[in-house]
Chain A
Amino acid sequence: MSTIVLPAEIKDASGHGHAHHEPTWVRKYLFSTDHKMIGKQFLLFSMFFLLVGGTLALIVRLQLGFPDHQGGFFQFFAKFFSGIFGKDNFAFNKETGMYGMLDNFYNSAFTMHATFMIFFAVMPFLMGTFANFLIPLSIGAGDMAFPKLNMASFWMSVLAGLLMLTAFVVKGGAAAGGWTSYAPLSAVPDYTGVIWGQNLWLISLFCSGLSSLLGAINYITTIVNMRCPGMSWFRLPLSVWAMFITAILLLLAVPVLASALLLLLFDRTLGTSFFIPAGLLSAGSPLTGHAGGGQVLLWQHLFWFFGHPEVYIMILPAMGLASDLISNFSRKPIFGYKAMVLAIAGIAVLGFFVWGHHMFQSGMNPLLGTTFMISTMLIAVPSAIKTFNWLGTVWGGNLTLKTPMLFALGFVTMFVIGGLSGIFMASTPVDIFIHDTYFIVGHIHYVLFGGSIFSIFGAIYFWYPKMFGRMMNERLGKIHFWISFMAFNGVFFPMHILGIGGMMRRIYDYTQYPHLMRFQGMNAFMTICAFILGFSTLIFIFNFFWSMKKGKIAEINPWKSNTLEWTLAHPIGHGNFPEMPHVFRGPYEYNAPDCPAGMDYYPQSMPPPGWGESKA
């Protein structure tokens, strides 16, 4: 009755017809076409850039916490970071031995922090790592539809990441126009003083977008065509549903970004004027080299037409992963499965009609503001549906608070705050005041860190045994969760208060403004919490690599989960399933009345009693 397959049988299954030879090291670990290896490559890639982005975040917080550059805390860490980014950026004074921070470097730091976190950490975590690893395994497929395209997608990402890192060593420093790169600040090198840093930013994101497109095509094709027998659409785990819809979002949104990036690159390098109007000044004298006639708001429309679906690209898969985790650890089916799927689809569709809410104060026609306010208010409805369904899933369950579940619950509770604070910004008159303040910085971090990253951490703890054959250390995992959860709230909750007090975002030295001086103590507190948060991530990194060698050997199905990947023993061979699996039921049949005796779960591929007989 068991569908569990031992590695020995895998060898037998592929051992006829042609000789099965072990791939070389390069083919196995570097230029692999196996979706599982590519998923792991993306995992290490994203973790590296999570650390890079986190380091830049700490630099930003260091400046905000101690804008007077005084005190041992600032001096100690400024010295530490100057060892990575160069003493020049930290305005090292040889005579006094004191460190400071340059305003332009601060601008580069927050620009690159957002860029790395969004395009090189959260997106590849979700749509690189988990989409690659989970989609074929959960739908019962042997690999992706286009394995070579998959490999190309990863290496295109690596190229993009390297280009983006190079920006720190070129003359003029890295891009300093914000991750949104509003023209004409980003379109004319003289306005920021950044020359090749911004060009590299544009080229790198173009490559990164290409990588996302290759991935998206692959995921869509695989999910549509390669589901195993019995795996109907409504038997897919919600994580796969979310990734499927996200892949469609990527396919529709990324080309718009790519075209905008190219136009901006042309403005910067070829003297075109897509985003540059006539008659501009530069340092007091007329700007030369551009004919003018461009539209400043065109960039914002193009960017946010991509940028808002992008926000959902980063949260929908996280919602899917968290749904899987919450159902599993509650030992209960997910509440309202179809409503969850419809909510994901609803968010995806509405997500294309809300981009203008980033532009309420941009000078866009106020009538459009009304339109976008209504669509933005409406998109809160599917998010509410999802939250209530998670609440319904937890209700009446039997909850085990293992590390993955803690992170999944952390995700849900923090996403509630991020979702509710969004309503303030959706209301156009309130947005007049809180637009471009720290309120929105708090909002985005509650959704992206408390939301996506918590869900990603939970998913890594959950699927680690399937990836590496060992369990991650549970005690370290819990310590990681508790510290991150507290420190996270310590950094980001006060941001709402700062925003309500009127503190603008992207401000190098807010103490210039009398109405912001009162926030110095609060900002210092947030900075210390940010460093604690950074430290807790190091615990995770240590746990990750330590468990690879020393972790407890994992059972085949340590979490007693129903989905197909948990029927395969580690290491899963090339081609995944030695025999085509057959799916008989949905993925969340925990504690179903007809569960086999002694089990509180019912694996998707386990035949019901009497099935083999009727077939015979």
Chain B
Amino acid sequence: MKSKLYLIVFVLITLAVLILPYMLIKVPPVSTVNRYSDYWLPQANSTYAPKIDGMFNTILWITMIVFVLVELGFIYFIWKYSHKDGRKVKYTHGNNKLEIAWTIVPAVILVFLAIFSNSIWSEIRNPNTFPKGAASIQIKPRQFQWDIVYPGPDGKFDTPDDISTINQLYLAYNEPVQIKLKSQDVIHSFFVPEFRIKQDAVPGMPTAVWIVPTKMGDFNIACAELCGAQHYRMMGYVHVVSKDSLTNWQKSQAVPEAPAPVTPAPQDTTTKK
């Protein structure tokens, strides 16, 4: 009986430990940073972000059901079959029908998940299905900043009207854009949580992603791959603006003689030490 009492206390405290951390999330006031007024995933602000979240939620439901059933099964059996003198033990070496059942059922569910995942994966990553007519931007990260190049009014790279910025990425609202990533030193990873996009920028091997932002506003680029001592400070900014203001901005920046960086590295202003 004493061990059963322990079991109750133990399950209750564990549940408390699992729930308590939620209480400690401090959500900033809605007026200051309204995008993070959520305990869960960041807002989904690109065309494929809701699809990734849908897949995430599907897996979450399936795993939650399995988790609850299996753990309750263990807790119930530990409860029901805890030691009693003279209890008759069910002497068995197993059951082949059960083995087959719990091989096939998970296999079917998992293959189903793989097939559904793959259609989203293919939409996001297959180079043949990238949106046609997308604007092009090059990002060349290096320790510890994002060098960004726009083709300028002529739409071509490596011409005098190219526009370069550091850490400031301007995108047009609801317009497809293709971003070519190539690192200049170590591996970095281009990560914008709200767009649900993450892609390593690899030295010596270009990679590409496409985005259609579905919300205007400012977002952060995070570096998601350890890239050295100041990896944690390698933050960039995404500004999603209307197509017109982006065109105007490009015109205002396109000075053929001096394609200099327009904005100083923001990390200098956010440094703590």
Interface residues of A, Cβ cutoff 8 Å to B: 103-104, 107, 176-178, 182, 184-185, 191-193, 277-284, 287, 292, 294-297, 330-333, 335-339, 361-363, 366, 369-370, 373-374, 377-378, 380-381, 384-385, 387-389, 391-392, 394-401, 409, 412-413, 416-417, 420-421, 423-424, 426-430, 432-433, 435-437, 482, 485-487, 489-490, 493-494, 497, 500-502, 504, 506-510, 512-515, 517-522, 524-526, 529, 590-593, 600
Contacts and interface: CB of A to CB of B under 8 A. Distances in A.
Given A377-B113, A493-B21, A512-B232, A185 B205 contact: no
A363 B196 CA distance: 16
A395 B91 CA distance: 10
A191 B197 CA distance: 26
Contacts of A185: 186-187, 226-228
B231 A409 contact: no
A519 B25 contact: yes
A429 B185 contact: no
Interface string B14-31: 100110111011111000
Contacts of B82: 399, 401
B110 A381 contact: yes
Contacts of B114: 373-374, 377, 426-427
A174 to B, nearest CB: 13
A429 B120 contact: yes
B226 A501 contact: no
9 contacts: A191-B228, A280-B184, A280-B203, A381-B103, A413-B71, A433-B41, A513-B235, A515-B193, A515-B220
Interface stretch (B72-80, B131-139, B154-162, B171-179): B72-80
Given A416-B67, A482-B10, A396 B89 contact: yes
A277 B83 contact: no
Interface stretch (B122-130, B242-250, B253-261): B122-130
Contacts of A381: 103, 106-107, 110
Interface of B: 3, 10, 13-14, 17-18, 20-22, 24-28, 33, 35-36, 39-42, 48, 51-52, 55-56, 59-60, 62-63, 66-67, 70-71, 73-74, 77-78, 81-84, 87, 89-95, 98-99, 102-103, 106-107, 110-111, 113-114, 117-118, 120-122, 124-127, 142-143, 184-187, 189, 191, 193, 196-200, 202-205, 207, 220, 222-233, 235, 270, 272
A490 B90 contact: no
A391 B83 contact: no
Contact of B230 (A103, A413, A506): A103
B98 A392 contact: yes
B228 A396 contact: no
Nearest to B105: A384
B83 A398 contact: yes
B17 A489 contact: yes
Contacts of B142: 281, 284
A338 B99 CA distance: 10
Contacts of B270: 512
Given A332-B91, A363-B199, A428 B118 contact: yes
A333 B77 contact: no
A383 B91 CA distance: 24
B4 to A, nearest CB: 10
Contacts of A400: 83
Contacts of B18: 489, 493
A184 B205 contact: no
